[in-house]
């Protein structure tokens, strides 16, 4: 016990002597004294004796008062760095080292700064938040002065030991990315996209003005381009953010950088990073409000959507896929342009996601898409080129979804009814084309509906055949040929009456339905088949007669082509009808004779 007290007494006497030397020396001599004595004094803080600790703090307090206002006095930065990087010192010692590094780093030569700062990045991911917030700005401030070694020399270079740890690299990268997001704002409460309030305050405390922030962004872009320590995917993330900056120099450098790299859009880490940037902090309960990151800027969101729409990894990332699509359509930043981008991504997801992913997200997304269609087709919604483009994307997306999840549509024909109704009312050609495309895509979903639903579909088809719009008639004939077998008299009559339609697509599809066919599941379409069963002759005659009578009683019904025979048939359609009835008679007669 006596020995410990004697050692403590000796330490106190030594510290008194050091304090006296510091107090008595002139400012010009203080720098030399600090280089010799500062580190030994700080090491005394590792003692367990509280009296010694108190005396160390007294000495360091005097140093702080003397050194802080005198910018000409250099601190022993190299020695402080070596002490910091050795076996981890106590938290109190670390705090003083960080304080002196922060205070004195800018006082040494830039070349020396560039040599020491990278060494401080070793193990940065394991440092406390307070330590990272002090050390990372030191490193970032000297990026343009760091000499990059050749790749083969980097492994043994003490400055670049941090590159051996992916966690350290990620920590540095994320800090750079925060700086790229940062904007100098005159409004204290203004939202900064991509950052939390805490991150904004930290960057603002290290950023005296816009010019300084601009210089840091340019330095970051040049460093990640020239250093070769970051992957092309990491560089791609940084460049994407940079292309949305408010300063043209940053935008130009970022766009040039994007042209020089090749991104792997199916890399999971890359896509996960982009999802995080797009969505910000999703969990609003576990983090304090100041730690929650805002979502990306709407312009950046559009660029991120373009990346997602090239990635199968993104399309198979439920629930992120649903969250992104719904944010595009119904989020706070949802513009017509962003909604259109969201529909592009939705189509990509429907085409490339695996069956398990599709089945999980389909019911949710379908309800959202149908809601959007209803909103866009309301009379109060102004139809513009942009809204029509969005509507086209949405109609197409639902059709693609129907091909992937036919079971979702076969339960309810209300979607079919909605599409058929819109087909005759829509005036814009691009929207009409998308509705038609959607109807053709969802056709096979209704092949296995029950009898009651099939009868409803028959009514819908019949109504569309009387429309003046060629697209309505084409869809009706298309459905007639695919939802009903070749033996269906209903379907064949629809073909016969349109074999001379003025529209070539309607005419060709009608003639196609007059040649025996079967449905083939693997093709999801009809294929020629000579042995297909023909309609019964008597049933066929009855259907033709009923159709003729119906058309005679409805003079307002549209009959394309040059009509004759009371406006029911054209010459060619009449010829097709007679020929087909004769074929039915021959087949039915042979079948009757065979049965007898």
Quote the pLDDT of residue 523.
67
- Whether the ω angle into residue 539 lies within 30 degrees of 0, i.e. cis, is no
Per-residue model confidence as pLDDT tens digits over 452-464? 999 999 999 988 8
Residue 315 and residue 348 in contact, taking contact as beta carbons nearer than 8 Å: yes
Task: Tell me what pLDDT residue 258 has.
Answer: 92
The length of the chain in residues reads: 596
Mark residue 280 as left, alpha or beta (left: phi above 0; alpha: psi -120 to 50; beta: remaining).
left
pLDDT for 562 equals 40
Q: What is the DSSP letter of 147?
A: P
Percent of the chain with pLDDT over 70: 94
413, 446 contact by CB (below 8 A):
yes
CB 537 within 8 A of CB 586: no
Please state whether the peptide bond connecting residue 27 to the residue before it is cis, i.e. omega within 30 degrees of 0. no
- Residue numbers in the chain where pLDDT is lower than 50: 1, 561-566
pTM: 0.82
Query: What percent of the chain stands above pLDDT 90?
Result: 40
Query: What pLDDT does residue 382 have?
Result: 63
Domain spans of the chain, in order of start: 1-108, 489-596
pLDDT at residue number 397: 92
Instruction: Supply the pLDDT for residue 1.
Output: 46
How far apart (Å, rounded) are the C-alpha atoms in residues 195 and 69?
34
């Amino acid at each position: 016990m006596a020995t410990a007290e004697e050692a403590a007494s000796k330490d106190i006497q030594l510290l008194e002597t050091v304090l006296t030397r510091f107090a008595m020396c002139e400012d010009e001599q203080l720098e030399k004294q600090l280089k010799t004595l500062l580190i030994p004094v700080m090491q005394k803080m590792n003692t367990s004796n509280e009296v010694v600790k108190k005396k160390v703090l007294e000495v360091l307090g005097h140093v702080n008062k003397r050194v802080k206002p005198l910018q000409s006095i250099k601190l022993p930065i190299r020695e402080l760095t070596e002490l910091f990087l050795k076996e981890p010192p106590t938290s109190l010692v670390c705090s003083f080292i960080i304080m002196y590094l922060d205070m004195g780093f800018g006082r040494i030569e830039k070349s020396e700064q560039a040599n020491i700062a990278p060494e401080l990045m070793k193990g940065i991911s394991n440092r406390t938040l307070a330590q990272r917030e002090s050390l990372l700005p030191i490193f970032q401030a000297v990026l343009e002065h760091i000499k990059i070694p050749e790749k083969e020399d980097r492994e043994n270079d003490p400055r670049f030991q941090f590159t051996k740890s992916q966690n350290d690299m990620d920590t540095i990268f994320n800090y750079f990315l925060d700086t790229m997001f940062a904007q100098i704002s005159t409004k204290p409460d203004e939202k900064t996209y991509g950052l939390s309030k805490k991150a904004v305050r930290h960057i603002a405390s290290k950023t005296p003005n816009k010019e300084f922030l601009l210089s840091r962004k340019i330095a970051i872009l040049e460093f990640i381009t020239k250093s070769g320590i970051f992957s092309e995917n990491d560089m791609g993330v940084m460049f994407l953010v940079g292309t949305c900056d408010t300063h043209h120099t940053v935008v130009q450098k970022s766009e040039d950088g994007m042209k020089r790299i090749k991104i792997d859009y199916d890399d999971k880490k890359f896509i996960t990073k982009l999802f995080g940037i797009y969505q910000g902090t999703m969990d609003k309960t576990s983090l304090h409000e100041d730690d929650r990151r805002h979502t990306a800027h709407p312009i950046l969101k559009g660029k991120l959507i373009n990346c997602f729409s090239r990635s199968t990894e993104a399309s198979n990332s439920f629930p992120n896929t649903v969250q992104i699509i719904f944010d595009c359509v119904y989020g706070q930043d949802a513009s017509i342009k962003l909604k259109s981008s969201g529909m592009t991504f939705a189509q990509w997801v429907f085409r490339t996601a695996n069956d398990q992913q599709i089945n999980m997200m389909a019911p949710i997304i379908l309800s959202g898409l149908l809601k959007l269609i209803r909103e866009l087709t309301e009379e109060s919604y102004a139809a513009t080129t942009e809204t029509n483009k969005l509507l086209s994307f949405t109609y197409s997306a639902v059709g693609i979804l129907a091909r992937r999840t036919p079971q979702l549509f076969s339960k309810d024909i209300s979607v079919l009814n909605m599409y058929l109704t819109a087909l005759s009312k829509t005036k814009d050609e691009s929207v009409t084309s998308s509705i038609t495309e959607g109807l053709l895509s969802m056709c096979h979903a209704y092949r296995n509906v029950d009898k009651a639903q099939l009868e409803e579909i028959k009514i819908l088809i019949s109504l569309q055949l009387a429309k003046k719009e060629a697209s309505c008639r084409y869809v009706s004939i298309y459905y007639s040929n695919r939802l009903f077998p070749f033996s269906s008299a209903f379907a064949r009559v629809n073909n016969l009456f349109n074999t001379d339609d003025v529209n070539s697509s309607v005419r060709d599809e009608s003639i196609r339905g007059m040649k025996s066919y079967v449905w083939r599941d693997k093709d999801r379409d009809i294929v020629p088949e000579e042995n297909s069963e023909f309609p019964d002759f008597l049933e066929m005659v009855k259907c033709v007669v009923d159709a003729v009578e119906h058309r005679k009683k409805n003079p307002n019904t549209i009959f394309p082509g040059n009509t004759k025979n009371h406006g029911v048939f054209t010459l060619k359609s009449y010829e097709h009808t007679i020929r087909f009835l004769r074929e039915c008679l021959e087949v039915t007669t042979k079948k009757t004779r065979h049965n007898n």
